[in-house]
Amino acid sequence: MALIPSQILRVAILLSYFSILCNYKAIDMPAHQTYGGSWKFLTFIDLVIQAVFFGVCVLTDLSSLLTKGSVCMEQERQLRKLIGLRDWMMAVLAFPVGAFVVTMFWTLYVYDRDLVYPRLLDNFIPQWLNHGMHTTVLPFIIIEMRTTYHRYPSRTCGLFAVCMFALGYVVWMCWVHCMTGVWVYPLLDHIGPMARILFFICLTALISVYYVLGEILNNYIWDSSKSTYTSRLAS
């Protein structure tokens, strides 16, 4: 038996994301007042994705509890839709985008933090909030993957959806630059046009790799769990 029920964990994680989002939006930063506001940052978009995803997880748990033992086919159909949405969000958005944000942020931070998180931001964002946005996202999503099986779409459909998300964000960044003359991330000011195109292509490829990694990890966890359960029954 799990030490903490997965349903309680999801509620706790959802509340933590609400707290992070509320505290982040309460910060009076100049970047929040410029074109695009917080929505031009992938970190903020990822926080919203994670909060919505865990909200769907909690809603699925509640629906499952309410329909337990019910013979109503319509309720069962709605529950299956919720489960399908939860699994799709996990596969296409929550894991690949979350893993991408965490790994890219800390890689660039270690290399040269001013390229992605200028020291000026330390005056606005406390360390605990920074870790809430850029660190705990990955452990939270792995906890969810470990506690609940998620059915992935076909790899072709999943990769197409992930690439469309990445392309959409690239177009959005370029639009913000077109309107303001400023790139969302200082790193993009230090490289030329062709290097930017190559950079965007590499990032799209990387987030696609994270999609495949999430699928492999999900299958590994649950194939191993099924094998362990079968072995226990056999013994």
Q: Would the CA dihedral through 33, 172, 100, 154 be positive or negative? A: positive
Write out the two tokens for 67: 């329909």
CA distances from 213 to 27, 54, 72, 182, 220 (A): 35, 20, 38, 33, 10
Write out the two tokens for 47: 């926080």
Return d(Cα 102, Cα 107) in angstroms, integer. 9
Q: What are the two backbone dihedrals, phi and then psi, of residue 54, each rounded to the nearest 5 degrees?
A: -70, -25
Contact 97, 137 (CB under 8 A): no
Helix axes 127-134, 95-112, angle to 10 degrees: 130
Q: pLDDT means per 10 residues in the chain (235 residues)?
A: 74 95 86 86 95 95 78 76 94 96 92 85 88 94 93 94 96 93 87 91 95 94 60 39
pLDDT digits (tens, 9 = 90+) for 2-40: 556 888 999 999 999 999 999 998 888 877 788 888 899
- CB neighbour class for 94 (10 Å; exposed up to 12, middle 13-18, buried from 19): buried
Which one-letter amino acid corresponds to residue 196?
A: R
Place of tokens 């870790």: 131
- Position 118 scores a pLDDT of 84
- Position 76 scores a pLDDT of 78
Helix axes 137-147, 6-26, angle to 10 degrees: 160
- Position 31 scores a pLDDT of 76
Closest CA to 211 of 128, 150, 147: 150
Contact 146, 221 (CB under 8 A): yes
Q: What are the two backbone dihedrals, phi and then psi, of residue 117, each rounded to the nearest 5 degrees?
A: -145, 80
pLDDT digits (tens, 9 = 90+) for 97-126: 999 999 999 998 998 888 888 888 888 889
